[in-house]
Structure 1
Amino acid sequence: MEHIAHTVKQFLRDEDGVTAIEYGLIASLIAVVIIVSVQTVGNKLNAVFDYIQTKLVTP
Structure 2
Amino acid sequence: MTNIKRFFKDESGATAIEYGLLVALISIAAIAGFDLLGANLLTNFTNSAAELI
CA distance in 2, matches of 1:56, 1:18: 55
Q: Percent identity?
A: 36
Larger Rg: 1
Q: Could you tell me how far 1:20 is from its partner in structure 2?
A: 2.3
Can you give the 5+ residue segments of structure 1 that lack an aligned partner in the other structure? none
CA distance in 2, matches of 1:47, 1:25: 34
What corresponds to 1:42 in structure 2?
Answer: 38
In the alignment, does 2:20 pair up with 1:24?
yes
From 38, 48, 51, the equivalent of 1:52 is 48
Task: Name the Cα RMSD after superposition.
Answer: 1.7
TM-score in terms of structure 2 length: 0.71
| Secondary structure of 1:16's aligned partner | coil
Can you give the 5+ residue segments of structure 2 that lack an aligned partner in the other structure? none
State the 4+ residue runs in structure 1 displaced beyond 3 angstroms.
none
CA distance in 2, matches of 1:30, 1:16: 23
